[in-house]
Structure 1
Amino acid sequence: MALAMLSAVREYGLTIVSATSLMDAPFKCGLEQLGASVILVEDAIRTGNQEGRLSELQRVLYNNPSAFWPKQYDNPDNPAAYSRLAEAMVEKVGRVDCVVACVGSGGSLTGVIRYLRSLFPEVRAVAVDTNNSVLFGHRAGPRLLRGLGNSILPKNLDHTIIDDVHWVGQCKRSPQRESFTVVVRCSSAPPAAPLRLSVTGTLGCIRTKLSSRSCLIQAIVINRQSIPTTG
């Protein structure tokens, strides 16, 4: 939506390629009202159909040779841009011990961690993925959550910098609160020991259990979810 707004202000032509499983009618209508052209590829099995979307995008580029494609999955400028965000986080909270972030293109977590480790070499990187996402070894399948997970492996995602991976297993909307209750499992924890995080805004503190030890972590969460604490 932000890209559509910017394109409208600067009078750029904007074509957005997505999938039927990822964009509902009201959101599509909002983009089109801003002047964007929206192409939705079919996605009956609800995996995101990344390959189909990229194929359609190549068709658009072929028919519009002067068009610019930012290549958010493989463009090194994607993670590089997040160094400014990491710098702002350090100015806000000081020393950072751990970053917990949802992963889609890999740009945000990769970029933030690369910058922070230039200042704090011991900072931990915790990636949050969703079930049926290929980013950390699952097979592609139907995904219930948007904004994280992928059905292709982006070059922006640097697996070597990630210390822990957690998969979102259950999501429940609470009608009393504008938040979500999310249970995530640690890749190194037994199935009976789900990990829960308490998040206080985009820049805030997280209390959690990692590797059987309790700790208070200053972190950035590239996510809009609020999650209750246990332990």
Structure 2
Amino acid sequence: MQLWKLRLQALLLCLLFVPAAVQAKPEGERHEVQHHGYIFEKWVRDTFFDHYEAPSYTQEWDVAKSANKEYGGLPVSIKTTKYGSSVDLGDTLRQFTINENFMIIIGYWRQEGPRKRIVNIVAATVTPALWQSLWIPITLQDVQALDAVVKNRAATPAQARADAHKIKSQPPFTRALMTVNPKIDNKHQRRLQCSLRFDLVFSRLAPKADPTPQEKPQLFGIAPPDPFLSAPRSFGGSKATAKE
């Protein structure tokens, strides 16, 4: 049999045995979100926000304020991360310029055997004053300057990484609670993102929440399906636990 036919048969067999949820792009949106993060986000949107679907992947919030009819009428940001890890918040410039009350919901997971299980859920209302306190003493000009360095296509990826690292390793960035994370690879990625440490989520955003792992964590009195998250990611046959 010709080689191309053998390869075609192998491809068809792979597609046949890949779970449907992995084959399909989740409802045409959230292509960059890890599968387990998408599952948690979808559970939140379906359960508490009437199966809300953002009209665009680039929409500012995961749930628009108009869809939040039961929990304060605020826009909602939904995140997922490994228990004990920093939570990735997205584009630094956009996060820095948030100037309205919003709700953030964070699902923390642990790897338990072949599955990830949610062990803690935080739901916090954040005011502009509280949010900006996490950035002090960083200014908008500081963020814009670092963002320009990260996205400077005249510099090689290696040079851009070095330049960005030098800037973020000095004040004012080292004095802020929020952490900036330049994302520069050897292909096309040039992004400046930000994250907040696990301890700061609980001490600043949700000081009354219990930070310990829980057997049956709940969001607004409802526990997520258990277990419901994906297995460890596999790279070349070896397993690796994601931090997203």
Q: TM-score, normalised by structure 2?
A: 0.25
| Higher radius of gyration, 1 or 2 | 2
Could you tell me the TM-score, scaled by structure 1's length?
0.26
Structure with the bigger percentage of helix: 2
**Greater RCO, 1 or 2 (C-alpha within 8 Å, sep 6+):** 2
